[in-house]
Amino acid sequence: MSACWFILVAAMWGATNPFIKRGSRGIENIRENGKVRQFLMELKFLICNWKYIVPFVINQSGSVLYYLTLASAELSLAVPITNSLTFLFTILSGWCLGDKIRHWETYVGMLLVLAGVALCVSDKM
């Protein structure tokens, strides 16, 4: 059952990554004098930008769920599922947003990730 929670966490982390990246566009154009002022203006830009803050909150909610689920799960199952599937969900959500998958190796990698996760889960059940 905990495997389902880790898949949900991976989906929350991975699906929000492309949105966070897109939401932060424009931060590189902020120019201020002094490092502290630069940091504060960049922070203000991100906090006031709903295209960044909404996926960020969902992403961090996934982190809270991960932390809560770790209390009753095996690390040997949690880490491979969440880390590898986060990669998969990031690629798929980016693809849904119009990003191109440029190399056939990416498809092979996704299949290998799924096979590896399936082996980890089946071994623990």
* The pLDDT value given to residue 74: 81
* The pLDDT value given to residue 88: 87
Chain position carrying tokens 């830009």: 45
* The pLDDT value given to residue 110: 82
In whole angstroms, give the CA distance from residue 110 to residue 75.
Answer: 22
pLDDT in tens, the chain (125 residues): 677 888 999 999 999 999 999 999 999 999 999 999 999 999 999 999 999 999 999 999 999 999 999 888 888 788 888 888 898 899 889 888 888 878 888 888 888 888 888 887 777 66
* The pLDDT value given to residue 41: 93
In the chain, what are the domain boundaries?
2-124
